[in-house]
Chains A and B, each alone.
Chain A
Amino acid sequence: MKITKTVKNSPSRIIFMIFNYIIISAVAILCLLPILHVFMGSLSDPALLESNSGIIVWPLGKASLLGYKYVLQYRKIWIGYRNTIFYVVAQCFITGLLTVIGGYVLSRKRFHYRNVVMAFISFTMLFNGGMVPTYMVVKGLKLTDTYLALLIPSAMSVFNIIIMRTAIAGIPDSLEESACLDGAGEFTIMFKIILPLCKATFAVLILFTAVGKWNEWFSALLYLSDEKRYPLQMFLRSLLIKNESMSTANQSTSMQMYKTLINYCAIMVATIPILCAYPFAQKYFVHGVMIGSVKG
Chain B
Amino acid sequence: MYILCIPIVAWYIIFCYVPMTGILMGFQNFSLTKGIFGSEWVGLKHFRDFFSSPYASRAIFNTLALSFLDLLFNFPAPIIFALLLNEVVHKLFKRVTQTLSYMPYFISMVVMCGIIVDFTKSGGVISQLVATITGTEVQNLLGNASYFRSIYTVSNVWQGIGFGSIIYVAALSSVDQELYEAARIDGANRWKQTLHITLPGIASTIIIMLILKMGSMLSVGSEKILLLYNPATYSTADVISTLVYRKSFEEYNYGFSTAVGLFNSVVNTSLLLLTNWISRKFSETSLF
Contacts and interface: CB of A to CB of B under 8 A. Distances in A.
Interface of A: 7, 10, 13, 16-17, 20-21, 23-25, 27-32, 34-35, 37-38, 50-55, 98, 101-102, 104-105, 108, 110-111, 113, 117, 120-121, 124, 126-137, 141, 152-153, 155-156, 161, 186, 211, 214-215, 217-218, 222, 233, 236-237, 239-241, 260, 263-264, 266-267, 270-271, 274-275, 278-279, 282, 285-286, 289-290, 293, 295
A79 B216 CA distance: 34
Contacts of B124: 53
A130 B21 CA distance: 10
A133 B1 contact: no
Interface in B212-258: 223, 226-227, 241, 244-245, 248-249, 254, 257-258
B111 A23 contact: no
Interface residues of B, number: 84
Interface in B1-39: 1-2, 4-5, 7-9, 11-12, 14-23, 25
A241 B1 contact: no
Nearest to A237: B110
A6 to B, nearest CB: 11
Given A24-B88, A156-B12, A236 B111 contact: yes
Nearest to B119: A34
B92 interface: no
B167 interface: yes
A215 B109 contact: yes
A293 B209 CA distance: 8
A137 B118 contact: no
Contacts of B103: 31-32, 35, 275, 278
A218 B15 CA distance: 17
B249 A130 contact: no
A137 B108 contact: no
Given A21-B93, A126-B269, A236-B114, A133 B245 contact: no
A172 to B, nearest CB: 19
B97 A28 contact: yes
A128 B19 contact: yes
Given A98-B7, A293-B208, 16 more contacts: A7-B184, A16-B190, A27-B97, A31-B161, A101-B8, A102-B8, A117-B5, A126-B273, A127-B266, A130-B264, A131-B257, A133-B18, A133-B23, A233-B109, A239-B114, A241-B113
Contacts of B104: 31, 34-35
B261 A131 contact: yes
Contacts of A274: 106-108
A295 B207 CA distance: 13
B277 interface: no
Task: Choose among B21, B125, B171, B273 the residue with the greatest number of A CB atoms under 10 Å from its CB.
Answer: B125
A282 B115 contact: no
B101 A124 contact: no
A16 B88 CA distance: 11
Contacts of B12: 120-121, 124, 156
Contacts of B145: none
Contacts of B19: 128-130, 133-134, 136-137
B123 interface: yes
Contacts of B175: none
A53 B120 CA distance: 11
B154 to A, nearest CB: 10
Task: Choose among B19, B110, B249 the residue with the greatest number of A CB atoms under 10 Å from its CB.
Answer: B110
Contacts of A290: 166-167, 170
Task: Choose among B9, B93, B266 the residue with the greatest number of A CB atoms under 10 Å from its CB.
Answer: B9
A128 B16 contact: yes
B266 to A, nearest CB: 8
Contacts of A17: 87
Contacts of B161: 27, 31
B209 to A, nearest CB: 8
B279 interface: no
